[in-house]
Chain A
C-alpha cells in the first residue's frame, strides 16, 4: 500500500520534471524558460521527496525528506527571483512574441 502510493507520487513528480525540462528546451527566451522550468521542477522534486517520505515512514530518511521539502521550496523560488532580476538588469531583451513588459514601468 505504502509502496504503491510512493510510486504514484514518484511518477507524478517525474512527469512534472519532464514538462519543466520540455519548457526549458523549447521556449523562446530566458524569462519564459525560467518561469516554466523553475515552477514545474520545484513541484516535481517536492513530490518525489514526498514519495520518499511515504516509502520510509517516520524514520531517519523520512525526517530528512520533511526537512528537505521546505528548504527546496524557499531556496529555489528566491533563487529564481534573484536570477531573473539580475538577467533583466543585465540587459536581456524579451522575446519576439512577448507583448507586455510591466517591470519596465515599475522600475521608473
Chain B
C-alpha cells in the first residue's frame, strides 16, 4: 500500500516537473500561464496523496487554499493579457 502510494506520488511530482518545463521553456507568454495554471491543479493532487499517506486532514486545507489562490492569479493574468484594467 505505502510503496504503491510512493510510486503515485513520484509520478505526480514528475508531472509537475513537466509543467515546470513548459513554464521555463514556453515560447509565448500565454504558454507560461497555461503551465502555471496546470501546475496549480497538479499540486492539489500532490496534497491529496500526501493526505492519504500521512493520514492527516489539514493537508487538504492547503489544497483548497491553493485552488482558490491559483484561480485568482490566473484571472489576474488573463486580464493583463487582454489589455484591460482590473476593474472593467
Number of A residues near B (Cβ < 8 Å) is 51
CA distance A89 to B45 in the complex (A): 31
Are B30 and A24 within 8 A (Cβ)?
Answer: no
Are A20 and B38 within 8 A (Cβ)?
Answer: yes
Question: Quick one: closest B residue to A93, CB to CB?
Answer: B28
Interface residues on B, range: 35 or more
Are B15 and A21 within 8 A (Cβ)?
Answer: yes
Are B82 and A89 within 8 A (Cβ)?
Answer: yes
CA distance A6 to B1 in the complex (A): 11
Are B28 and A92 within 8 A (Cβ)?
Answer: yes
Contacts of B52 in A (CB 8 A): 6, 10, 51-52, 55-56
Are A75 and B28 within 8 A (Cβ)?
Answer: no
| Contact count A vs B, C-beta below 8 Å | 148
Q: Is A5 part of the binding interface, using a Cβ–Cβ cutoff of 8 Å?
A: no
Are A41 and B60 within 8 A (Cβ)?
Answer: no
| Nearest CB of B to A41, in Å | 5
Mark B residues whose CB is within 8 Å of A. Answer: 1, 4-5, 8, 11-12, 15, 18-19, 21-22, 28-31, 33-35, 37-38, 41-42, 44-45, 48-49, 51-52, 57, 60-61, 63-64, 67-68, 70-71, 74-75, 77-83
